[in-house]
Amino acid sequence: MDQHSPARMEDVAQVAGVSAITVSRVIHHPDKVADATRERVLKAIETTGYVPNRVAGSLASNQTRIIGALVPTVTNSIFADTIDGLTDELGAQGYQLLLGATGYSLAEETRLINAILAQRPAGIVVTGLQHEPAAESLLRAAGIPVVETWNVDGQPIDMTVGFSNFNACHAMVERLVARGARCIGYVGAPTLANDRAAQRVAGYRAAVAKLGLEASDSLVFEGKFSFAAGAGRLRDLLATRPDVDAVFFGNDILALGALFECQRQGIRVPADLAIAGFDDVELAASVAPALTTVRIHRYEIGRQAARMILERLRGDTTTPDLTDLGFEIIERETTPAGRAD
Amino acid sequence: MDQHSPARMEDVAQVAGVSAITVSRVIHHPDKVADATRERVLKAIETTGYVPNRVAGSLASNQTRIIGALVPTVTNSIFADTIDGLTDELGAQGYQLLLGATGYSLAEETRLINAILAQRPAGIVVTGLQHEPAAESLLRAAGIPVVETWNVDGQPIDMTVGFSNFNACHAMVERLVARGARCIGYVGAPTLANDRAAQRVAGYRAAVAKLGLEASDSLVFEGKFSFAAGAGRLRDLLATRPDVDAVFFGNDILALGALFECQRQGIRVPADLAIAGFDDVELAASVAPALTTVRIHRYEIGRQAARMILERLRGDTTTPDLTDLGFEIIERETTPAGRAD
DNA sequence: AAGCGCGATGTTAGCGCTTTCAACATTATA
DNA sequence: TATAATGTTGAAAGCGCTAACATCGCGCTT
């Protein structure tokens, strides 16, 4: 008892006067053990302070209850919601989350995929559809359910859950034009190693071109994920192109930073300049004027990704390989009001 | 090669014409293998697409490269920063994060501690100093480094990294009074199963009492972590106690929600009402008027927690068991300006 | 009363790796 | 040249658990 290596199943078995396999049964198939025996074993587990060793169990059974997940960064509240969706669903089913942050680096992603796969997870969730070829083959060869999230525009490895960044931005530009915008600037996240951001600008460019508006590089900027960057890029844009009447931001943080900058500079929103964001963070609705944005279902992405993996593991073959959670244009006060329709 | 179970170390060994142990050496102690042999093995790893099986490795060596971490919720951007600090430091050292979210439930925390311990992590990080007795004994019996975070006011199990929530709130109240406040309300997060929140109100109460100000329950409210709750509790407080001249919020989200509410209601800040928050989120500095708040080092908490565990694992005995990262009062525009001092 | 089925428990083998110890070849030392 | 030291590789054992099969005893059928 006082030996300082933790109790093993064998120790519990000895205390309960049974064999190890019976202890294993009490833990995994309690109904296959007689009531009296089960009680005795449970008591022995308690007195020995036994905590099952899943690494041994996983090796023997050749399966873990771990799901790997890779996000660019956790600090970006956007992915935090997805992670919460993941842990909520996974936790309820007795699975656990092995988390990695790539820092928007594809090379780091590959490295982390390798490290996670070494733990032989039951499934893995990654962000986006863009990966190094090495990462893709690693994922394919792993022989486990793989879910790519946050983007449905592309060739999935296995399963996908998310929405069309392209369509969402396209739709927002159309709405902006319907509300009177004629010269629309765009400020988005860096597109390097970020297919979601790339699809977003692409959607903007396509819509602008389709609607016969000016589609110039002088209208497009990139900014890091911060309020300060939103303010800075707005200043840059206004300096080059004072004729813009609307700016569409690739995420709400940039948009809100720009909105605050407008307030500081006395630019009236939306009278002088319309502003639209993307993500619909809580702040978007709480700020004054409230931000027009695109609502996406961040928490549900995580939740659904977990569900798809779990169903696949259960042998459920009816699960679709692609779940498009869609998006909604939320018009609030930073864009001109349209007639009720 | 086409057999669909993944390649084992033995398979690699065969391809390279060596024994399994040599493959193991190439992976873990490359310098203990002759150059030519190493090259041959590396090539064999490549051609077989071998990904080491760490669950087998962990069982054999009786050690994992996994660190467990428990936070109340990831969505709260506050903990997201800590998680990023953790993954950054851990990732750099070849360790991985097994993450759980307790949802502010102590029972759930105990359940998750058990599940995480079953994976035999090399160390574990938990939030706060308050746990169920069962959780505490589990943690003590595990025989691994344990770090409790976000609070240093209490009895640690092993190591601690954070700051004094009590002192921080005490200091802010003192500052508020120095700036002219005479009737200070307090709105904080629910204190149930949240020792950090409990210490914060306690700090407020102690300071108010010490300074001879009114310390009435009618001045104290609890609100969930949302802008809407901040606005709502402010309305409640003002309805009961229209005489308050300052409100101190237990976190920035509540404070900012209240600030927006003031803007909507035409309450001038800080002329009519001073507002102070806690956490110093990015938005606090970006909003107008910028929010007076308490800066704490959320990312560093994670970073430092990881470091402490890693150093302990390395056998470094010089690491202190307690790291107080402190706090800073950041005076901005939502409180009356003091004379330069 | 023999045989069958079934529930409850145990025995054996082995998951893929690392640890420990041994073996051998090569070089340095006396 | 003998011996020790060093470098390189391998063989055997076992980590703690579970899968698969084996065994036992009991009540039931016919």
Write out pLDDT tens, residues B197-215. 999 999 999 999 999 999 8
Q: CA nearest A224: which of A114, A76, A329, A118?
A: A76
CA distance A175 to A276: 10
Residue B150: which H helix or E strand, with range? Answer: none
Question: Residue A92 contacts by C-beta under 8 Å, 6 or more apart in sequence?
Answer: none
- CA of A41: nearest nucleotide by C1' is C9
Coil, helix or strand for B227? Answer: helix
Angstrom distances, CA of residue A280 to CA of A164, A292, B45: 16, 8, 46
Question: Under CATH, which number does the domain A9-52 receive?
Answer: 1.10.260.40
Residues of A within 8 A of B75 (CB-CB) are: 77, 80-81, 84, 299
Alpha-carbon distance B204 to B245, whole Å? Answer: 15
Distance A36 CA to D29 C1' (A): 29
CA separation for the pair A232, A249 (Å, rounded): 13
User: Can you spell out the DSSP letters for A127-159?
Assistant: ESS---HHHHHHHHHT-S-EEEES--SS--SSE
Question: According to the model, what pLDDT value does residue A288 have?
Answer: 87
Q: Mutate which of B1, B28, B82, B99 to test chain A, going by most A C-beta atoms within 10 A?
A: B99
Instruction: Map out the domains of chain B as residue ranges.
Output: 9-52, 62-163+300-326, 165-295
3-class secondary-structure state, position B52: coil
Which secondary-structure segment (H or E) carries A211? Answer: none
| Helices vs strands, H then E, count in chain B | 13, 12
Q: Report, as an integer, the average pLDDT of B105-111.
A: 98
DSSP A338: P
Asked if the model's pLDDT at residue A1 lies above 80, the reply is no
pLDDT band, residue A267 (cuts 50/70/90): very high
A99-149 pLDDT per residue, tens = 999 999 999 999 999 999 999 999 999 999 999 999 999 999 999 999 999
Closest chain B residue to A117, measured at CA: B51
Residue range B104-117: average pLDDT? Answer: 98
CB of A214 within 8 A of CB of A241? no
Residue A80 has its nearest CB partner, among B74, B118, B283, at B74
Q: What percent of chain B has pLDDT over 90?
A: 93
Positions in chain C where some atom is under 7 Å from a protein CB: 7-12, 14-20
Chain B hits for A283, CB-CB cut-off 8 Å, are 227, 256, 283
- pLDDT for position B231: 97
Q: A212 is written with which tokens?
A: 């016969």
pLDDT digits (tens, 9 = 90+) for B41-67: 999 999 999 999 999 999 999 999 999
User: Does B282 contact A227 at a Cβ distance shorter than 8 Å?
Assistant: yes
For A236, residues 6+ apart whose C-beta sits below 8 A from its C-beta are A221
CB B125 under 7 Å to nucleic chain D: no
Distance CA(B58)–CA(B199), nearest Å, equals 40
Pair of tokens at residue A297: 């279902």
Q: Report the distance from CA of residue B28 to the C1' of nucleotide C28 in Å, as an integer.
A: 29
Asked whether the predicted pLDDT for residue A31 surpasses 80, the reply is yes
Q: What is the CATH number of domain B62-163+300-326?
A: 3.40.50.2300
Please report the sign of the dihedral spanned by the C-alpha atoms of residue B277, residue B280, residue B282, residue B286.
positive
Assigned CATH topology for domain A61-162+298-325: Rossmann fold (3.40.50)
What is the pLDDT at residue B340? 53
Strand partners, A66: A96
CATH topology for B165-295 is Rossmann fold (3.40.50)
- Judge: A112–B118 Cβ closer than 8 Å, yes or no: no
Judged by C1' against the alpha carbon of B10, the nearest nucleotide is C16
Quote the pLDDT of residue A2.
44
Q: What is the mean pLDDT of residues A254-268?
A: 95
The helix or strand, by DSSP H or E, that contains position B257, with its residue range, turns out to be helix B252-265
DSSP A290: P
Domains B62-163+300-326 and B165-295 share a fold: yes
Cross-chain CB nearest to B55 (options A64, A143, A282): A64
* CA A21/CA A99 separation, integer angstroms: 33
Q: Do A100 and B97 touch (CB under 8 A)?
A: yes
Query: Using CA atoms in the order B108, B110, B113, B115, what is the torsion angle rounded to 10 degrees?
Result: -70
Q: How far apart are CA B327 and CA B224, in angstroms?
A: 23
Q: Do residue A96 and residue B97 have CB atoms under 8 angstroms apart?
A: no
A289-304 residue pLDDT tens: 999 999 999 999 999 9
The region that residue A263 occupies, defined by phi over 0 for left and psi between -120 and 50 for alpha, beta otherwise, is alpha
Nearest to B98 among A96, A141, A264 (CB): A96
Are A75 and A296 in contact, with CB atoms under 8 Å apart? no
